[in-house]
Structure 1
Amino acid sequence: MDSFLFQTVGQTQVPYIAECMGLPLFQEEIRGSALDQELDYSKTTGDETEDLYSLIKKVKEAHPDVEGVSVGAILSSYQANRVKNVCERLGLEVLACLWQKDQQELLDEMIDSKLEAVLIKVAGIGLGKVDLLKNLKQMREKLMTLNKKYGTHVCGEGGEYESFTLDCPLFKKKIEIVEWETIIHSDDAFAPVCLAKINKVKLIEK
Structure 2
Amino acid sequence: MSWAALTSGGKDSILAMQKAIDAGMHVSHLVTVIPKNTESYMFHSANLAAVPVIAKRCGAVYVEIASAGEKEQEVDDMEIGLAALDVEGVIVGAIESEYQRSRVAAVCERLGLKMYAPLWKMDPLALMREVASRMDAVIVVCAADGLGENVLGKKIDDALIDVLLSVRKSRRIHIAGEGGEYESLVLNAPCFSAPLNCSEMKSAYEGLRGEVFIERFW
Q: Which runs of 4+ in 1 moved over 3 A?
A: none
Q: Is the 8 A contact 1:129 1:182 kept in 2?
A: no
Q: Aligned partners of 1:51, 1:13: CA distance in 2, in Å? A: 21
Do residues 52 (structure 1) and 52 (structure 2) align? Answer: no
Normalised TM-score (structure 2): 0.78
Q: CA deviation at 1:22?
A: 1.2
Q: Is the 8 A contact 2:187 2:195 kept in 1?
A: yes
RMSD over aligned Cα, in angstroms? 1.4
Equivalent residue for 2:139, pick from 108, 119, 133:
119
Unaligned runs of 5+ in 1: 37-46
Normalised TM-score (structure 1): 0.82
Residue of structure 2 equivalent to 1:178: 199
Equivalent residue for 1:135, pick from 133, 152, 155:
155
Q: Aligned partners of 2:69, 2:41: CA distance in 1, in Å? A: 11
Q: Aligned partners of 2:165, 2:177: CA distance in 1, in Å? A: 12
Residue of structure 1 equivalent to 2:216: 200
Instruction: Give the secondary-structure state (helix, strand or coil) at the position aligned to 1:11.
Output: coil
Q: Any residues of structure 2 matched to 1:8-19 within 5 Å, and which?
A: 8-19=45-56
Q: Any residues of structure 2 matched to 1:1-206 within 5 Å, and which?
A: 1-34=38-71, 36=72, 47-59=73-85, 63=86, 66-112=87-133, 114-137=134-157, 138-184=159-205, 186-187=206-207, 192-202=208-218
Identity of aligned residues (%): 33
Q: Aligned partners of 1:193, 1:179: CA distance in 2, in Å? A: 20
Deviation track 1:24-58 (CA, whole Å, cap 9, x = no partner) reads: 01111113510x4xxxxxxxxxx110111011112
Deviation track 1:136-191 (CA, whole Å, cap 9, x = no partner) reads: 1041110111122222111100111000100011111111332232232x32xxxx
Q: Partner letter of residue 64 of structure 2? A: Q
Q: Partner letter of residue 57 of structure 2? A: C
Q: CA deviation at 1:111?
A: 1.6
